[in-house]
């Protein structure tokens, strides 16, 4: 996939991050003195790529052997972290200064796991460096933050994303128009990963213009989340629910993620009830976090949205039907 093909391999290739590029550049000049790192910033701004580049540059050829990549949203429990990290960080690396542990989406880790990490980081600092990657540094407990050099990745500016997409189009010898690329930016909200995925999706279908991009975005789960919320607001409870069950039970999107994306999509709604809808979504997010039965909670959310609908204009995400209106 293009997301992998066009992943940057040099620090200077990171787009829109001039500040980060300078700071990382100076760190790499003297790798022995590198502290633990904490990368924070919105999705798709190059955090994981930067972490991988740092590992490659410091560890050289055998970097894969000396790097442990963990994704905290998959393995968020204390046991996972402790076992894996402990075993990995036990031995000194041969012909490399230390081992590197990349902890992606670290803000998804439970508090107890983070607390445990604190000790592990200290014990293993002779042999290992941690690079923690997160969206919000506030999701990382203070003691961990204080053990790391924090590097913030700002949201990518539109020009940079568009020019990068144009370059990809040239490399793949594709036709593209300005409006299409601009639409990609709007939908992906500056997330480079999504942007490249959309571009590739659109290239499979047809020419890259605003309309195709809009259609393609409907196939992402984010698009489906929007659709389901539309159905619910429209009062089509049963249909919304059966779509939701397909999404969660077959495709494996968790209910918590559903709510997360629903929250992300809220800004697209132009609706007098927006405040109410946002309140509902946050409330049911809380209910899910409490560990209640997700089936029941989601059904209640959909029914509730139905009662708010009525006057609301629908979400406009990848919803081609809306375009039939003049």
Q: Which chain residues interact with other proteins by CB under 8 A?
A: 1, 3-4, 43, 48-49, 52, 69, 71-74, 104-105, 108, 193-194, 197, 200-201, 204-205, 215-216, 218-222, 235, 237-238, 241-242, 245-246, 249-254, 257, 261, 287, 290-293, 295-297, 299-300, 303-304, 306-307, 318, 320-321
Nearer to other proteins, 41 or 201 (CB): 201
- Work out how close the CB of 316 gets to other proteins at its nearest, in angstroms, rounded to a whole number: 13
Q: Which is nearer to other proteins, 161 or 253 (CB)?
A: 253
Q: What is the DSSP letter of 13?
A: G
Nearer to other proteins (CB atom), residue 48 or residue 137: 48
Cα 270 from Cα 266, distance rounded (Å): 9
Q: Which of 60, 119, 66 is nearest to 92 (CA)?
A: 66
- Least distance (Å) between residue 96 CB and other proteins: 20
φ, ψ of residue 152 to 5 degrees: the values are: -95, 135
**How far is it, in rounded angstroms, from Cα 261 to Cα 266?**
9
CA angle 275, 270, 309 (to 5 degrees): 65
**CA–centroid distance for 189 within its chain:** 11
CB of 56 to other proteins, least distance (A): 12
Question: CB 73 → other proteins: shortest distance, Å?
Answer: 4
**Pick from 73, 277, 319, 281: nearest CA to 187:** 319
Show the tokens assigned to 188: 């992906």
40 or 49: whose CB is closer to other proteins? 49
What's the closest the beta carbon of residue 118 comes to other proteins, in angstroms?
22
């Amino acid at each position: 996939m293009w997301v992998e093909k066009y992943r940057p391999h040099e620090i200077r290739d990171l787009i829109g991050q001039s500040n980060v590029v300078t700071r990382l550049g100076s760190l790499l000049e003297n790798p022995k003195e590198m502290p633990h790192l904490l990368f924070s910033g919105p999705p798709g701004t190059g955090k994981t790529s930067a972490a991988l580049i740092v590992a490659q540059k410091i560890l050289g050829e055998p970097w894969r052997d000396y790097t442990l990549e963990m994704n905290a949203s998959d393995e968020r429990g204390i046991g996972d972290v402790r076992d894996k990290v402990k075993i990995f960080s036990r031995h000194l690396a041969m012909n490399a200064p230390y081992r590197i542990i990349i902890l992606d989406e670290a803000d998804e880790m439970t508090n107890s796991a983070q607390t445990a990490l604190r000790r592990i980081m200290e014990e293993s600092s002779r042999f290992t460096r941690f690079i923690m990657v997160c969206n919000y540094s506030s999701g990382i407990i203070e003691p961990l933050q204080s053990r790391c050099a924090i590097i913030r990745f700002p949201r990518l500016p539109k020009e940079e994303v568009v020019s990068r997409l144009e370059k990809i189009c040239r490399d793949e010898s594709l036709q593209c128009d300005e409006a299409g690329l601009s639409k990609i930016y709007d939908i992906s909200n500056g997330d480079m990963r999504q942007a490249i995925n959309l571009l590739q999706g659109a290239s499979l279908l047809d020419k890259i213009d605003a309309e195709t991009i809009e259609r393609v975005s409907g196939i992402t789960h984010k698009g489906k989340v929007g659709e389901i919320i539309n159905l619910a607001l429209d009062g089509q409870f049963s249909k919304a629910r059966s779509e939701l069950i397909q999404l969660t039970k077959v495709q494996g999107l968790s209910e918590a993620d559903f709510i997360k994306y629903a929250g992300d999509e809220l800004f697209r709604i132009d609706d007098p009830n927006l405040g109410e809808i946002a309140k509902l979504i946050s409330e049911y997010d809380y209910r899910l976090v409490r560990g209640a039965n997700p089936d029941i909670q989601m059904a209640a959310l959909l029914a509730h949205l139905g009662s708010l609908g009525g006057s609301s204009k629908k979400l406009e995400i990848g919803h081609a039907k809306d375009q039939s209106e003049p």
